[in-house]
């Protein structure tokens, strides 16, 4: 037993000495990651200021606050922090690889791989939201020109349908229970379709009838 103890401590010392280069390499990667993430964050903030990204949000009814300088700075800082966070995660993953911590590296790698899908889903949802808003506003204008009653309600219904559609696309992009998403949103679309059919069946004539004043004017013009 006494002969084995020195051998055991010697083995541990040899393993520790052999691990020192990996430890230093991992720490160097982590330090480099902090520098790169900080630099990219500053670069993203400066690019956001130069491109004036807030001008797209100011046009929205809820985006008036972005006209304030402190709100804009907070928004730019938030965008920069997103890039900072994921770049730092990437270098932490490299650090785990350098330290031969494969389990933690694989776990972190799966989390990092979600980032492109999250960005794609956010882009899809954003495009869908703006497209639904643009389409609803255009539909309201057309219906009002045609003197269709309840034009705002019809446009709101169309907007909800588009938002639901793009939300489903975003969830599928995230690979969040594709089967459940497909079944759920198919049910929602069928329900919306049934509601539309019932409303048209019950109130179709009143919905597409022109106002009385316009009908009277039309008859008078015809009589003349």
Residues 205-211, mean pLDDT to the nearest whole number: 54
Average pLDDT, the chain: 76
Average pLDDT for 21-45 = 91
Residue 6 covered by a domain = yes
Co-location of 47 and 140 in the same domain: no
> Which is more confidently placed, 104 or 198?
104
* pLDDT of the residue at 165: 80
Place of tokens 């349908």: 161
| Residue 125: inside a domain | yes
Taking alpha carbons only, the member of 187, 175, 63 closest to residue 120 is 175
**Would the CA dihedral through 74, 75, 80, 81 be positive or negative?**
positive
Q: Does 86 fall in a domain?
A: yes
User: Do both 145 and 87 map to the same domain?
Assistant: no
Q: Are residues 140 and 69 in the same domain?
A: no
**Whole-angstrom distance, CA of residue 190 vs CA of residue 21:** 62
Considering the domain architecture, whether residues 45 and 87 belong to the same structural domain is answered as: yes
Q: Is residue 40 over pLDDT 90?
A: yes
Same domain for 201 and 142:
yes
User: Would you give the distance in Å from CA 123 to the centre of its chain?
Assistant: 6
Q: Does 88 lie in the same domain as 120?
A: no
Give the per-residue pLDDT at 38: 95
Q: Domain check: are 129 and 191 in the same one?
A: yes
pLDDT of residue 220: 46
Using pLDDT thresholds of 50, 70 and 90, give the confidence band for residue 190: confident
- Is residue 140 located within the same domain as residue 72? no
Which of the four pLDDT bands, split at 50, 70 and 90, describes residue 14?
low
> Do 24 and 54 fall within a single domain?
yes
In a domain, 224, yes or no: no
222 in a structural domain: no
Q: Which domain holds residue 164?
A: 113-217
pLDDT in tens, 55-111: 766 666 666 676 777 778 888 898 899 889 988 988 998 888 888 888 888 888 887
- Give the end of a domain, one of 37, 71, 100: 100
In a domain, 95, yes or no: yes
Q: Would you call 15 helix, strand, or coil by DSSP?
A: helix
Say how many domains are in the chain: 2
Stated pTM of the model:
0.56
């Amino acid at each position: 037993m006494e002969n084995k103890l020195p051998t055991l401590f010697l083995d541990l010392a040899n393993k520790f000495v052999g691990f020192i280069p990996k430890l230093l390499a991992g720490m160097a990667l982590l330090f480099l990651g902090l520098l790169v993430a900080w630099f990219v964050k500053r670069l993203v903030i400066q690019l956001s200021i130069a491109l004036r990204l807030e001008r797209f949000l100011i046009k929205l009814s809820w985006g008036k606050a972005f006209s304030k300088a402190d709100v804009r700075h907070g928004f730019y800082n938030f965008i920069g922090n997103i890039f900072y966070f994921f770049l730092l995660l990437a270098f932490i993953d490299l650090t785990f690889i350098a330290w031969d911590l494969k389990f933690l590296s694989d776990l972190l790698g799966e989390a990092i791989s979600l980032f492109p899908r999250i960005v794609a889903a956010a882009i899809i949802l954003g495009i869908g939201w703006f497209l639904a808003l643009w389409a609803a506003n255009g539909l309201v204008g057309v219906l009002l020109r045609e003197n269709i009653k309840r034009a705002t309600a019809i446009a709101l219904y169309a907007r909800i349908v588009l938002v639901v559609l793009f939300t489903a696309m975003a969830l599928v992009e995230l690979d969040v229970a594709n089967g459940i998403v497909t079944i759920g949103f198919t049910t929602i679309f069928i329900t919306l379709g049934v509601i539309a059919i019932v409303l048209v069946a019950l109130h179709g004539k009143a919905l597409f009838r022109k106002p009385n004043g316009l009908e009277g004017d039309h008859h008078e013009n015809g009589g003349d």
